[in-house]
């Protein structure tokens, strides 16, 4: 139903894209998804990001998966309780889902000529979002595609696009996660179609893990090729423009960072000079206060000595005046006594003379 129009209907859980909850939680909380991918608004910008950033198809980055000590479901492929650093590939896969791709855009992904990882994420988008009943019709034209890519984080597991798609049709496990389950009746129909096409080789591990299967290679339908000619031209033009804009943005960011660093250094130097001036002023004020304090102390000492001398002079003068006064008083009293004695003598002499006169 989804292949008859340009609109693609999502199958299953439309909120989670049928991803494992642990993987989805790590994608939505990752800095890369929230900051870098948030800035990408168009289909072609996301394709360019896939071209430059994706190097494997595992759900977790190498060495970040913590499964030691976990058992059962928690230690297996479901990712429950283990967590880790979610891969760039899965972040970009979910970013594609948020763009609500059309049928033409999905076909543009799986037939892209610049990178096998762009194609692989297109096929993975189909595996997670399309009805299991439609999977074989989406994949059948590419089951013998021999373009190779390394799907393992850190490298070491190279397989062809055809091998990868055959594995996705037969197995649910994909490294440390699971694809959406295919109902048993539909799985039986897929196996019957593969056996009809490849015979008993379907039952061999080499069918999806070994060397590429040599068979009749079918090209994409002509109407698809025609429909994508214009889109490929637009993709190349947009990618060239996007790369140029990206380089321009990088240069602009570099200049901006350089200006910011220069401004910051200038502010630091200004702050340092301001601190030094402040310290100098503080030291000057401190020295001035010290000088003023010493000057006041000297003035106070001088005033105290002056007061002390003045008091000393005053007390000396007072003593001198008291001594002089006492001396003067003694002299005056002595003179009074002398005059009294003289008067007494005179009186006595006069009385003596009178008495003598009377006797005569």
Q: What is the DSSP string of 72-109?
A: GGGGTTT-TTT---B-HHHHHHHHHHHTT--HHHHHHH
14 sits in the region (left: phi over 0; alpha: psi -120 to 50; else beta) called alpha
Give the DSSP H or E segment for 174. strand 173-174
Q: Do 84 and 64 meet the contact criterion of CB atoms below 8 Å apart? A: yes
CA distance 316 to 322: 10
- Let me know how many helices (H) and strands (E) the chain has, helices first: 10, 4
Q: Do 31 and 89 meet the contact criterion of CB atoms below 8 Å apart? A: no
49 belongs to a structural domain:
yes
Within 10 Å of residue 205's Cβ, how many Cβ atoms? 8
Q: Do 190 and 182 meet the contact criterion of CB atoms below 8 Å apart? A: yes
Give the DSSP H or E segment for 160. strand 158-160
- Give CA separation, 213 vs 273, 311, 350, in Å: 75, 126, 184
Query: Can you list the residues of the chain whose pLDDT is less than 50?
Result: 1-3, 71-81, 210-221, 223, 360
Mention every residue, 6+ apart, whose C-beta is less than 8 A from residue 182.
132, 135, 172, 190
Residue 260 is predicted with a pLDDT of: 73
93 belongs to a structural domain:
yes
Residue 234 is predicted with a pLDDT of: 60
Mention every residue, 6+ apart, whose C-beta is less than 8 A from residue 45.
242
Residue position matching structure tokens 């594609």? 96
Residue 1 is predicted with a pLDDT of: 43
Residue 321 is predicted with a pLDDT of: 73
274 belongs to a structural domain:
no
6 belongs to a structural domain:
no
179 belongs to a structural domain:
yes
- In terms of residue numbers, what domain contains 126? 21-220
317 belongs to a structural domain:
no
CA distance 78 to 105: 30
Considering only CA atoms, which of 95, 171, 88 is closest in space to residue 127?
A: 171
322 belongs to a structural domain:
no
Considering only CA atoms, which of 196, 194, 129 is closest in space to residue 162?
A: 194
pLDDT in tens, 19-41: 999 999 999 999 999 999 999 99
Number of structural domains (the chain) is 1
Residue 158 is predicted with a pLDDT of: 93
Considering only CA atoms, which of 125, 95, 82 is closest in space to residue 33?
A: 95
197 belongs to a structural domain:
yes
b/e code 153-186 from CB counts within 10 Å (16+ = b) = beeeeebbbbbbbbbbbeeeebbbbbbbebeeeb
CA distance 110 to 133: 19
């Amino acid at each position: 139903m989804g292949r008859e129009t340009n609109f693609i209907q999502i199958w299953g859980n439309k909120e989670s894209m049928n991803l494992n909850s642990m993987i989805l939680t790590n994608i939505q909380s990752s800095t890369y998804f929230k900051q870098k991918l948030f800035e990408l608004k168009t289909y072609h910008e996301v394709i360019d990001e896939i071209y430059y950033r994706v190097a494997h198809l595992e759900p977790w980055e190498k060495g970040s998966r913590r499964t030691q000590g976990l058992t059962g479901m928690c230690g297996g492929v479901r990712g429950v309780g283990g967590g880790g650093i979610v891969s760039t590939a899965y972040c970009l896969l979910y970013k594609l889902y948020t763009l609500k791709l059309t049928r033409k855009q999905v076909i543009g992904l799986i037939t892209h000529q610049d990178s096998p990882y762009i194609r692989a994420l297109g096929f993975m988008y189909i595996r997670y979002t399309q009805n299991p009943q439609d999977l074989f019709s989406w994949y059948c034209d590419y089951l013998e595609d021999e373009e190779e890519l390394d799907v393992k984080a850190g490298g070491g597991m190279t397989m062809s696009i055809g091998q990868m798609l055959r594995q996705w049709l037969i197995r649910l496990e994909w490294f440390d996660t699971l694809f959406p389950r295919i109902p048993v009746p539909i799985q039986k129909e897929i196996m019957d179609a593969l056996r009809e096409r490849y015979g008993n080789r379907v039952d061999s591990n080499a069918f999806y893990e070994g060397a590429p299967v040599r068979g009749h290679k079918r090209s994409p339908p002509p109407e698809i090729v025609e429909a994508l000619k214009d889109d490929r031209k637009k993709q190349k033009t947009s990618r060239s423009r996007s790369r140029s804009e990206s380089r321009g943005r990088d240069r602009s960011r570099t200049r901006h960072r350089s200006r910011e660093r220069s401004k910051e250094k200038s502010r630091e130097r200004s702050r340092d000079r301001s601190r030094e001036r402040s310290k100098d002023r503080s030291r000057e004020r401190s020295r001035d206060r010290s000088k003023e304090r010493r000057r006041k102390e000297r003035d106070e000492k001088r005033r105290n000595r002056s007061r002390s001398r003045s008091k000393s002079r005053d007390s000396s003068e007072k003593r001198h005046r008291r001594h002089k006064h006492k001396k003067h008083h003694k002299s005056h009293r002595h003179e009074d006594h002398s005059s009294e004695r003289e008067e007494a003598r005179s009186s006595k002499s006069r009385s003596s003379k009178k008495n003598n006169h009377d006797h005569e």
